[in-house]
A and B are shown apart, each in its own frame.
Chain A
Amino acid sequence: MKIYFELNGKPQYVEVEPGESLLSLLRRLGMKSVKEGCGTGECGACTVLIEGKPVRSCITFAPKVQGKRVTTLEGLGTLDDPHPLQKAFVEAGAVQCGFCTPGMILTAYALLEQNPDPTPYEVREQLVGNLCRCTGYRKIVDAVLLAAEWKKEGKWR
């Protein structure tokens, strides 16, 4: 079947299998930031935004994004022009192996859109579905709080 959706601001008209996961479709379209850590919706590494809301793409059927707006990490910023939140992750030391990072950043992005001034606990609450085995989470929380500061200062987009 063919579906239409918007991927990182660009229209997509693509053939999908009805049972194909969104994770598989997005990686097929070159969005390699979408990581498969478990395939069963438990680790959060495959998190993408649909209409700005974080979802686990590994347990979302691709046809479900018909007509919707999908954002992957590639849509947030680039190597030459990174989003402040991406910079904050690097600056705070929140990136170790980097495998959970795309999902973490997108989940944190959705939080800061809703709640620009979160407490450390609120950050931890929001990230509870995104597993990280490297950092112990502290520096990830630091990164989100640093980004919130920048957002308040208008260093955002």
Chain B
Amino acid sequence: MAVKLGQPKEVVGQNVLKLDGLPLATGQPKFTMDMDLPGALIGKLLYSPHAHAEIVSIDTSEAERVPGVVCILHHGNVPRIPYTTAGQGWPEPSPYDTVLFDKKVRYVGDRVAAVAAETEEAALEALRKIKVEYKVLPAVFTIDEALAPGAPVIHDEPDAQGIYDPQRNIAAAVDVPVGDLARGFAESEVIVETTCEVPYVQHAALEPHCVAVYFDEDGRLVIRTSTQVPFHVRRIVSRVLGIPLQRIRVVKPRIGGGFGSKQEVILEPIAAALALRTGRPVVMNLTREEVFVSTRTRHPYRVRVKLGAKKDGTLHAVEMEALASAGAYGPHSGTVLYNVGSKALPLYNKARHLRFHGKAVYTNLPVAGAYRGYGATQGFFALEVAMDELAQKLGLDPVELRLRNHIREGETSPIFEKLGEGREGRPQIVRSCKLSECLRIGAERIGWYEKRKSPRREGSWVYGVGMACAMQGSGITGIDMAAATIIMNEDGSFRLLVGATDLGTGSDTVLAQIAAEALKVPVEKITVYSSDTDFTPFDKGAYASSTTYVSGNAVLRAAEKVREQILAVAAELLEEPLEELELRGEKVVSLRTGREVPYWEIGHRALYVTNQQHIMASASFACPESPPPFAAFFCEVGVDTETGVVKVERFVAVADCGQPIHPKLAEGQLEGAVVQGIGHALYEEMLFSERGSCVNRNFFDYRVPTSLDVPEIEAILVPSEEPTGPFGAKSIAEIGINGPLPAISNAIYHAIGVRLTRAPFTPERVLAALRAKRG
């Protein structure tokens, strides 16, 4: 790479103002639903009240007579094309087990029909008047029920593709051995085993799923949507509706949070189908209740970890078994499953004997999908609680145990090669890792060694400290690709066109900083236009912690090409050899003579005067490896032994994300992810009735952390230099959510001597565990 690492940087590493910050803080109409679409129909969905049923008949005649109703879609009048809502690259790793509307419903909240009407009231009245006769089938709500012999088969449709074993309700499965596990445990001197469970939890992005579809003046279909994956939306809608991809334009405006929930392509094909059928614009905006009931969740997992170690603490054998409820459909079921192992196991690469095996199982519960952490969250919960147990059994400090086992720079793990994205991975060497330093700093900030001596008591409250480590990736090796285009304006400013999808993370700003740094201009000289399939080059979208690394590398490469063009024009103007010139402060400067020419002059000359050309370039970056960020998490919790209430008093998260391009935004990612993780640990769980209906379908009953629930999070970035990253950067968006579950569980153990292995750690569970301990 032409940009040398370690050079002083002017824009990268600076907390420039987030490009969309002021527009958002002044309430500019930047979101999907903020555009008025005159004449738009309102689209509404009818959901299944049953967890598992066949649709015997559907009668829409009365609904059609409701004044204002324009169109009703259901299984009887739409094409049947199996697909996946997962919103991934192609060929898609998730099973094609979904159709627009099916003759069978598989969970309470499965869609049955869609109505488009002139008003919301008319649409809702029509929904009430659609007569559906169901033949209710037996349903399964747990992994064990679904796997039991004779269990009802959830996906018995003949046209589904890519399901691992539909007859046994297994959406995806994995079994990867390394070395000889039995021998490994036989040779181990200390063995521990633990099983941790994560329930159904939801992303709870503040903006509900929404989409606006309309036709432009040429009759092309424009889908303005709250998505993390505009290019995948275009590809999937084209295939599912059988219309040429070329006829579709997908635009992502600002979106009100995603965290994976908007990687799923849920509403777009339906809204587009309604628009195509009626020839009218269509708007769909889910209510919060609909988001809870019908969209996506994190995969609930039961993960068992068995660790074998030598007396000095060196891990020798590791077994991890992961069982997931995929819910009624399988988006991300295989890829999340692989990630449980592929993200967690390489962290401790000293063990020679490993086995990772597991299944993602269909149940008649809501559909799980991508959620920040993507399996790693579930894997690290079990792994890091097991490590805590191992430390205890060895009489070793938990920090010391991690220091003795964690992967180092220049090292690898066989897991990188064995486990990829729902398939084999690729070998990879860790080129940057400052985890030891993260551990040292975190321990110091929390006062680890002092507080670890013994738990502190105050009345019925007991205070303890706990810790955990985690890693993640930066994009998907061998799959993710992003492209960027940079165009010079004649005034010396630039347009940066990226398909990359800023979902609130600030990636537009980060990518502008990378371009600005490479082109030696202030970030204000970069205008970013992103996420529009007509006007920006391809990008895989915002998932897998990929944008800074993958899209950032594409931007850097495009900037390099533009830089060469600028230098070529300048060389001609200055009549000096190209090698003697360099970019500096919006000018090209001759190192030999000191003569200089400003960008505006280069821009004007190139466009209007001599050797005319538009200075611009595009570049792509495919992800040859996925450098992991690393983090250490420390927390102090208080447990009220009378009520069982757990309170996080302090939380310190220390992360190595390479060189942070924008430290404040990176901190914000870490802080936000940690607070979501605290929510998982203490409050969040979707609860279901005996019939499989989600009962806490609002923010009153499903508690996400408020400003008073969380302590001050101390987010500390420990820079490293990732040689393959743009200006040394790796990812930061997901890793923070992997720490709180195990760190808080371990701190509770330190405080009161009981292990909480089933999230969330509610007062009832804490008291039950205390009672069990007392016998």
Q: Which residues of A contact B (CB under 8 A)?
A: 31-33, 35-40, 42-43, 45, 72-74, 76-79, 82, 86-87, 89-91, 93, 95-102, 105, 120, 123-125, 127-141
Contact = CB atoms under 8 A, between A and B. Distances in A.
Contacts of A31: 27
Interface in B700-733: 700, 704, 706-708, 710, 712-713, 715
Contacts of A33: 26-29
A38 B208 CA distance: 8
A30 to B, nearest CB: 8
Contact of A97 (B204, B255, B675, B707): B255
Contact of A131 (B31, B255, B505, B706): B706
B490 interface: no
A48 to B, nearest CB: 11
Contact of B207 (A39, A73, A99, A137): A99
Contact of A132 (B20, B206, B505, B665): B206
Name the 6 nearest CB pairs between A and B, nearest first: A33-B27, A97-B504, A98-B24, A99-B256, A136-B675, A136-B671
B27 A72 contact: yes
A133 B704 contact: yes
Contact of A96 (B26, B29, B204, B506): B506
A96 B672 contact: yes
A101 B24 contact: yes
Given A32-B28, A36-B285, A93-B667, 4 more contacts: A43-B699, A125-B708, A135-B672, A141-B707
Given A91-B17, A99-B31, A133-B205, A128 B706 contact: yes
A68 B729 CA distance: 52
Contacts of A97: 24, 205-207, 254-257, 503-504
Given A39-B287, A43-B699, A131-B706, A86 B20 contact: no
B404 to A, nearest CB: 32
A87 B204 CA distance: 27
Contacts of B17: 90-91
A33 B171 CA distance: 42
Given A86-B22, A86-B26, A97-B254, A134 B31 contact: no
B161 interface: no
A136 B505 CA distance: 13
A138 B206 contact: no
Contacts of A37: 206-208, 256, 288
B188 to A, nearest CB: 39
Determine chain B's interface SS by DSSP, over half rule: loop
Nearest to B255: A97
B505 A98 contact: no
Contact of B25 (A40, A90, A124, A134): A90
B692 to A, nearest CB: 23
Contacts of A100: 206
11 contacts: A33-B29, A35-B206, A37-B256, A73-B27, A98-B24, A98-B30, A99-B257, A100-B206, A134-B668, A137-B710, A138-B671
Contact of B704 (A72, A78, A131): A131
Given A102-B27, A128-B706, A136-B713, A96 B675 contact: no
A42 B698 CA distance: 8
A128 B299 CA distance: 29
Contact of B504 (A87, A90, A91, A98): A98
A62 to B, nearest CB: 16
B505 A96 contact: yes
Given A82-B26, A101-B24, A102-B27, A93 B704 contact: no
Given A132-B206, A136-B671, A90 B31 contact: no
B256 A90 contact: no
B23 A133 contact: no
A125 B672 CA distance: 19
A31 B700 CA distance: 26
Most chain A CB within 10 A, of B257, B287, B503, is at B257
A130 B704 CA distance: 11
B698 A38 contact: yes
Contacts of A133: 203-206, 257, 259, 672, 676, 704
Interface string B21-64: 11111111111011000000000000000000000000000000
A25 to B, nearest CB: 14
A33 B673 CA distance: 25
B288 A38 contact: yes
A77 B27 CA distance: 9
Contact of A136 (B207, B254, B503, B672): B672
B235 interface: no
A99 B210 CA distance: 13
Contacts of B33: 36
A157 to B, nearest CB: 14
B352 interface: no
Nearest to A141: B707
B504 A96 contact: yes
B710 to A, nearest CB: 6
B699 A38 contact: yes
A101 B668 CA distance: 15
A95 B26 contact: no
Interface string B186-211: 00000000000000000111111000
